[in-house]
Copies of this chain bind each other. A is one copy, B any other.
Amino acid sequence: MKTLTSRQLQVLEFIQDSIRVANMPPTIAEITVAMGFGSTNAARGHLQALERKGAIELIPNSSRGIRLVQAGAFEPGLPLVGRVAAGRPLLAEENIEDYRPVDPSFFSPRADYLLRVLGESMRHAGILDGDLLAVHRSPTADNGQIVVARLQDEVTVKRLRRTGQVVYLEAENPGFPAIEVDLKQETLALEGIAVGVVRNL
């Protein structure tokens, strides 16, 4: 989508608000009033510009015939992180596979992103290969929580178990050994804590 001017953005935002509040797009006249135009053509011009730029779609001869094109313009959903490129922040653009319409506040604390789970190491916690893990960004976590951690450019989902200065990242599947991190020697970079699981069957 091409960049919008600030005025066009205002119009777009009014349309989004309209849909959110009234559950229907506004008429051109409503936009005209809301924006303080003296002529409906001012609004029409903006709508046509927005359509040219791909922000909306106009349905000819249809009242309130404005359709938001952006999938999730008002509900962007959560970024889905898939394979993580080495040396890049977890939420760097190249790690974001897609956006999924999941309500962040459905989880508590709020979910910040979704992580696609690889492998079976957490199977016994009901987290299977391919599941989407809802993650809340947090640099700290409590004992016993399931966390997302970075270890040498590898992202892993494990249960955190701390005893003194040693942290164990435990799998929930026999055969997968726990990872031991000595806080005196290395730092443990937590990416977040797991707050939920979403699975498509």
A199:B126 contact, CB within 8 angstroms:
yes
> With A and B bound together, what is the CA distance between A105 and B72 in angstroms?
13
A198 at the interface (CB under 8 A from B): yes
The oligomer's copy count stands at: 2
A198:B200 contact, CB within 8 angstroms:
no
**Chain B residues near A19 (CB-CB < 8 A):** 23
A31 at the interface (CB under 8 A from B): no
A201 at the interface (CB under 8 A from B): yes
A166 at the interface (CB under 8 A from B): no
Partner of A197 from the list B74, B102, B195, B198 (CB cut-off 8 Å) is B198
CB closest chain-B residue, reference A125 = B128
Could you tell me which residues of chain A, from 108 to 160, have a CB within 8 Å of some CB in chain B? 108, 123, 126-128, 131, 134, 146
B24:A64 contact, CB within 8 angstroms:
yes
**Chain B residues near A199 (CB-CB < 8 A):** 126, 196-198
A194 at the interface (CB under 8 A from B): yes
> With A and B bound together, what is the CA distance between A19 and B101 in angstroms?
17
Partner of A106 from the list B64, B101, B126, B195 (CB cut-off 8 Å) is B101
A27 at the interface (CB under 8 A from B): yes
Partner of A22 from the list B67, B100, B106, B197 (CB cut-off 8 Å) is B67
Could you tell me which residues of chain A, from 65 to 105, have a CB within 8 Å of some CB in chain B? 67-68, 73-74, 100-103, 105
User: What are 10 A-B pairs with beta-carbon distances under 8 A?
Assistant: A24-B24, A24-B25, A27-B63, A63-B63, A101-B103, A101-B106, A102-B102, A123-B126, A126-B131, A196-B198
